[in-house]
Amino acid sequence: MNENSHSFHEKELRDGQVESVSAGSSPPCDKDSSALLAFRGISISELKNHSVLQALTAEANAWEPRVVSTEVLQAQEEWEAVESIHPETGSQASMDQPGQLISFSEALQHFQTVDLSSFKKRIQPTIRRTGLAALRHYLFGPPKLHQGLREERDLVLTIAQCGLDSQDPMHGRVLQTIYKKLTGSKFDCALHGDHWEDLGFQGTNPATDLRGAGFLALLHLLYLVMDSKTLLMAREILRLSRHHIQQFPFCLMSVNITRIAIQALREECLSRECNRQQKVIPVVNSFYAATFLRLAHVWRTQHKTISDSGFVLKDLEMSAKKSPRRLLKTLETYLAGVSKGQASLLGTQKCSGPQAPHSKDLTFTGVCDLPSHSSEGTWLI
């Protein structure tokens, strides 16, 4: 038999096999028909070398693509670089995803929309003064807060009455955001655990360290870490808090700074600035950040240690309430320097050395632990 007749019969046999397979199944769609026609043009001896069949028949754990395109690599890099924060607020879908970062404005909006009436009943917006203290405040004290700003002030003080609820998805997202931003981690962490002691809480549950400041303390930390300039400041203070000699519990210190801000608001020390800006929450946030910045400066330059904490905080409270505008100017100058890459809290100071002990092993004295000698009133929120 000559070669032509042999090729003819081989083609008939091949065509018959393909047609018999097609006849035994349901009619294929147009795409399937095109695929079959494409394979018809390939000889049986060459089918085994076809890349598609190789991919289908290779072991799943052994097959790898020969070439990864630059487009795929670029897409992977862009995907990994995408921030996981959703700027839109009020979205129920984003509120139910504890793995997503949360902005300060979104967390604040949560408190603006939920019913806080039971917590609001507990607040005392201003300090009660009697006798000479009341007369002195009336004659020489700061101006009263404008009527239109008092609701915003009351919201701040009400949030300070709210505790941390680990069952609330928004509360969990706030904690996760604080942890991820301070540590640079891309992964979620447990809401309870030793990692919170590493950040300066005294226990494994942050909720136990919010006395006197409530959830406002966490909102202030959130405010600090969600702006790129103040985040740099926060990380520098965190680094200082881990100094092998000057260590202090970072988050617990932050809670105490929030307490100072609350007291300054209640004593109307911030009223003048709030009236000038026609805002309360931004002023309180900036005052908190400026006070924390001042503490870090004093702590570093005066070589303070954990045994000095109570007295440092008390002196800081008095000076901050006396000259809040000067304190805010210091923060503005620092942040302007950060923008130009010229500001640094630590300078060339090295924080290396033996690992600092856990916060639970430090004897920390906060502003609420020292007796108050102020005639302006007592610590009531």
Domain positions in the chain are: 104-340
> What's residue 132's pLDDT?
80
Residue 55 has pLDDT above 60, yes or no: no
Q: Under a CB-based contact definition with an 8 Å cutoff, are residues 258 and 287 in contact?
A: no
What one-character-per-residue DSSP string does 303-360 give? T--GGGHHHHHHHHHHHHHH-HHHHHHHHHHHHHHHHTT---SSTT----SSPPPPGG
Average pLDDT for the chain:
77
pLDDT tens digits for range 238-296: 999 999 999 999 999 999 999 999 999 999 999 999 999 999 999 999 999 999 999 99
Closest to 122 in 3D by CA, of 161, 178, 172, 167:
161
Buried-exposed string 175-192: b where 16+ CB fall within 10 A, e elsewhere:
bbbbbbbbeeeeeeeebe
Distance CA 311, CA 186 (A): 38
Q: What angle do CA 72, 78, 82 make, to 5 degrees?
A: 145
Q: Under a CB-based contact definition with an 8 Å cutoff, are residues 19 and 11 in contact?
A: no
Neighbours of 213 (CB within 10 A): 25
Confidence of residue 39 (pLDDT cuts 50, 70, 90): low
Three-state SS at 212: coil
Distance CA 331, CA 317 (A): 16
